[in-house]
C-alpha cells in the first residue's frame, strides 16, 4: 500500500508542477505579446517621425525646384522680348530693291530645359562695321573690313582672304 500511496502523492506533485508550468508558460506568452506589441508601436512611431521629416524635406526640394523653373521661365521670356522687338522692326522696314520680298525673321523657340548658367542675351542687330576713314583713298590706316568694303564697291575680284597689306596692294594695283 505504501507503494500505491507514494504513486498517488507523486501523481499529485506532478499534476501540481504541471499546472504551475502551464501557468508560467501562459504568463510568459502574455508578456511576450505585450513586448511585441510595444516594439511594434515604437517602430510605427519612429516610422511616422521619419515620414514627417522626409515629407518636409521633399516639400523644400519641390519649392526650390519650382522657384528655379519660374526663374528660368522669366529669363526665357526676357530673352525672347528683344528678338520679338527686333523682328517687329525689321518687318516694318520696306524692301529697298525693286520686286524684292521683305525678309521676316521669326523668333527663336525658347529652350525646353534651361541651362544652369545662361550667357547674356545677344541683340538681334549686327554690330556695325567700323566707319571708313575720312580720306577717300585707301591707306594703311584703314581697317581690313573697310578695305574689303572698298574693294567690293569698286568691283575688285579676289579680295577675300587677303591680309591687310596684300589687300591694300591689290586695290592700288587695280587703280580703281
Contacts by residues 72-75 (CB-CB < 8 Å, ≥ 24 positions apart)? 72/114, 75/114, 75/118
Residue 6 has pLDDT above 80, yes or no: yes
Segment 170-174 mean pLDDT: 91
Question: Of 15-24, 89-98, 114-123, 129-138, which one has max mean pLDDT?
Answer: 15-24
pLDDT, position 73: 84
In tens, the pLDDT along 35-93 reads: 999 998 988 888 888 888 888 888 889 998 898 898 888 888 777 666 555 555 554 45
Q: What is the spatial distance between Cα 167 and Cα 142, in angstroms, rounded to a whole number? A: 11
Closest CA to 132 of 157, 151, 149: 149
pLDDT at 166 over 60: yes
**Residue 101 pLDDT grade (very low, low, confident, very high; cuts 50, 70, 90):** low
In the chain, what are the domain boundaries?
2-120, 128-176
Average pLDDT in the chain: 77
Provide the pLDDT confidence category of residue 108 given band limits of 50, 70 and 90: low
Amino acid at each position: 500500500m505504501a507503494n500505491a500511496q507514494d504513486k498517488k502523492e507523486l501523481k499529485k506533485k506532478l499534476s501540481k508542477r504541471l499546472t504551475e508550468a502551464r501557468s508560467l508558460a501562459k504568463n510568459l506568452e502574455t508578456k511576450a505579446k505585450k513586448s511585441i506589441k510595444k516594439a511594434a508601436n515604437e517602430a510605427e512611431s519612429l516610422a511616422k517621425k521619419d515620414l514627417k521629416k522626409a515629407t518636409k524635406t521633399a516639400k523644400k526640394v519641390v519649392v526650390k525646384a519650382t522657384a528655379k523653373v519660374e526663374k528660368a521661365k522669366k529669363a526665357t521670356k526676357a530673352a525672347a522680348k528683344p528678338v520679338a522687338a527686333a523682328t517687329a522692326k525689321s518687318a516694318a522696314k520696306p524692301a529697298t530693291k525693286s520686286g524684292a520680298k521683305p525678309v521676316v525673321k521669326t523668333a527663336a523657340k525658347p529652350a525646353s530645359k534651361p541651362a544652369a548658367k545662361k550667357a547674356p542675351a545677344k541683340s538681334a542687330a549686327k554690330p556695325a562695321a567700323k566707319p571708313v576713314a575720312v580720306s577717300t583713298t585707301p591707306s594703311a590706316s584703314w581697317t581690313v573690313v573697310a578695305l574689303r568694303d572698298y574693294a567690293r564697291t569698286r568691283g575688285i575680284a579676289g579680295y577675300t582672304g587677303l591680309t591687310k597689306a596684300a589687300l591694300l596692294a591689290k586695290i592700288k594695283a587695280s587703280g580703281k
